Amino acid sequence: MISSVDTDNVIQRAQALSNAGQIAQAIDLVRSAIEDRQNDGKLWHMLGILHRTDQDSAAALVALEKALTYQSENPVLHHAVARVSMEAGLPAVDKFDKARSFAPNDGSIILGRSAAQLAAGQFDEAIADLELILASNPLWLEGHELLSEARWSSGDKDGLTKSFVEALQSNRQNGSLWAKCLDALFKADRFADAAEMVGEARKALGDSRGLMMYDAICASELGETEKANRLFASLAPITEIALAVRHMRHLLRTGHIDLAARLGESFIQDSEAHQIWPYLSLAWRALDDPRWKWLDEQDGLVQIYDLQDQIDLAGLAQCLRSIHVAKEDMIGQSVRGGTQTDGPLFARIDPEIRKLRSVIQSTVRTHVAGLPVVDPSHPVLRHRSDSISFSGSWSVRLTGKGFHTSHLHPMGWFSSAFYVNLPDEANMGPPPAGWLALGAPPPELNLDLSSVRRIEPKPGRLVIFPSIMWHGTIPFDEGERLSVAFDVATPPTPGHSV
């Protein structure tokens, strides 16, 4: 018989294995412990968490429901069941209501309920419910953020900062409210509005380094070069990696390429350097420094896989269309002229998506096996793993004239585009309309650099490339361009063991 102490030890060991990327071993450990203690709700709960981490929602729900039979009034368990149900693509609002009955003031449960409404296409209901709660809880930052995003995706782009502004009328000394409102404007690239709000925040709060950062970024993005130069100089020495990225953008767009390169090179040992590498690549290319080819052009980093014989594309397309419920693009994302699904797509239990995930997981393993030799100094090639997990997965549906802006996914290891349905040649437009473009900098950086590679989309084609590589698409004429994308999670640091 396992004691409660032994149960806690099993859970701690399983968590450590999971953190080290050894999720299968963690699941086996807990399953083995459950064989000796079938009625241990804590072990069943842990097993559900591990299956959720592995994005196996069906197995996670079985384990969590089993845990509830032993801990029927545990609000954390009820919340877990609700959230996994939502991620699985199942109705979940009622389950969040159940969880909330045990913890009525838990903000994370309320947010989850609103997310479940949005996933079901109930935008008006979610917005109304959030408005009601924020009326009596105006300092609930996460609620403001979700309401802002919901309004944007529902088509109410003018309402982006409405709730923040209303809350600030009676809470002008709350610096966090000002910061979150500014962050929302930054996500929407509304830098003129943000600059005006910085001025209002300064009247309420006085000057600060944080407001000076916002001011410098706004000036740079608005082309106010002298003001931006002065503000960035006042902020020196720059130690914050996010601000260093913004300074690099400013230096690149104003032609100080060598300074941008030196700034980026000074941060490559930072734990957050994945944010710096994409800009360093652009600086090296502009300077004709061969290191950019070492970074982006090694054989095997970018590969094309045609998987049309392994996937029921028509069935998958029908499934994906049913979950594109938003009316507009998602704030802060690259989609223009289309919609993007929210939540982890590969956690859904739809058979078409489970099949796709299985095929893609196998293909990613093939891709990793074909990489060049491990290079400890390379941000991508320093990693290697047989265990493949996903840090994000979603679908994008573009319609006529739609495209992706040039962007990147610096929090992933490898990123992707898998094409499910495309317009015919007549509707797509002459090549390279609708094609994937790799390596092209965002136009606002004013760099005389084009894409380094353009790849033709085809139904069933999967393109895998480093997450730190710039990528976007070229607009097409009309029709539907339906795709799936994912980020492969960066493996734990080599040498990390349990």
The average pLDDT across 471-495 equals: 91
**Please, is 450 exposed, middle or buried when counting C-beta atoms within 10 Å of its C-beta (0-12, 13-18, 19+)?**
exposed
Question: How does residue 4 score in pLDDT terms, banded at 50, 70 and 90?
Answer: low
CB 143 within 8 A of CB 109: no
The average pLDDT across 160-176 equals: 97
- Model's pTM, two decimal places? 0.94
Amino acid in the structure at residue 242: A
The token pair at 147 is 């309401």
Q: Please provide the average confidence, as pLDDT, over all residues in the chain.
A: 95
CB 329 within 8 A of CB 336: yes
Helices marked H in 169-240: 175-187, 191-205, 209-221, 225-235
For residue 492, the model assigns a pLDDT of 81
Amino acid in the structure at residue 449: L
For residue 1, the model assigns a pLDDT of 44
Assess whether pLDDT exceeds 70 at residue 3.
no
| Beta-bridge partners for 488 | 390, 414
Question: How does residue 88 score in pLDDT terms, banded at 50, 70 and 90?
Answer: very high
Q: What angle do CA 361, 363, 365 make, to 5 degrees?
A: 75
Amino acid in the structure at residue 193: D
Tabulate helix, strand, coil % of the chain (nearest 5).
55, 10, 35
Q: What percent of the chain has pLDDT over 90?
A: 94
Assess whether pLDDT exceeds 90 at residue 482.
yes
Q: How many CB atoms lie within 10 A of CB 69?
A: 10
CB contact set of 214 (below 8 Å; sequence gap of 6+): 182, 194, 198
Q: Pairing state of beta strands 335-340 and 303-306?
A: unpaired
C-alpha closest to that of 217 among 183, 167, 255: 183
Assess whether pLDDT exceeds 80 at residue 494.
no
Question: How does residue 498 score in pLDDT terms, banded at 50, 70 and 90?
Answer: very low
Assess whether pLDDT exceeds 80 at residue 144.
yes
Segment holding 100, helix H or strand E = helix 93-102
For residue 120, the model assigns a pLDDT of 93
pLDDT tens string 187-242:
999 999 999 999 999 999 999 999 999 999 999 999 999 999 999 999 999 999 99
For residue 493, the model assigns a pLDDT of 66
The token pair at 6 is 């032994």
CA 37 to chain centroid = 38
